[in-house]
Structure 1
């Protein structure tokens, strides 16, 4: 019987590694939001008097641009996890289907080699007489 073209255990290792990377990526995304907020706050304003007094709560042009950037890229950023999840699930599903198909073919080959009657063959026909 031919060997495997796909290693289910190898796919499992890769899927596990992708999961580890996704945990790190999630931490990075969470930190990203805080870092952008800090950058917007630190950017200050163009208002007279700088960032002291009542101007402390105002935001400037840089903060507004950062807010627009975040708003414009939020969907893509959020969809990264979805894309990765779908890719991983697809790889797992394909590997399971490959394994199941290979096991089914192996069982059929063993039945043929043993000369057993195949259920989908006409009465009296043996697998060896194909």
Structure 2
């Protein structure tokens, strides 16, 4: 006996609701990324008054870039954690309903593992990441 008392209809209702919320969060995250880039571009640039005359991101653009750099790992982690949790609950419930309790336990165990976040272009040696 596992001690589980699963009501599949309730589980799938919660998974459906959570999936819709996760989709909305994903769409908002994508929109935010585009909006931040647009805002940084519209905020202007700094131009040297002495040659060579090159432009770099302005103060607001630089601050927005730092914001994205600081929070991007956490935002990706949240998305991956939510996905693993939803998929794990689905797989465990399906296995439980099929009478495969061992398979349900394995699905639950796998879903509980920490997701690994590997962002492109991030220096893995000295980025201060906590191993996510």
Same fold (TM over 0.5): yes
Over residues 37-78 of structure 1, what are the superposed CA-to-partner deviations in whole Å (9 max), with x where a residue is unaligned?
A: 1221232346599xxxx88x6421121121122112111112
Determine the C-alpha separation between the residues in 2 that align with 1:102 and 1:39.
52
Over residues 2-48 of structure 1, what are the superposed CA-to-partner deviations in whole Å (9 max), with x where a residue is unaligned?
A: xx832111111111122212221121011101111122123234659
Over residues 87-114 of structure 1, what are the superposed CA-to-partner deviations in whole Å (9 max), with x where a residue is unaligned?
A: 11222233234434499xxxxxxxxxxx
> Which one has a larger percent strand, Structure 1 or Structure 2?
2
Q: What is the match of residue 65 of structure 1? A: 63
Contact 2:40 2:61 in 1 (8 A): yes
Aligned pair count?
95
Structure 2: 5+ residue stretches without partners:
102-132
> Which one has a larger percent helix, Structure 1 or Structure 2?
1
Aligned CA RMSD, in angstroms, stands at 3.0
> Is structure 2 residue 76 aligned with structure 1 residue 75?
no
Q: Pick the structure with greater CA Rg.
A: 1
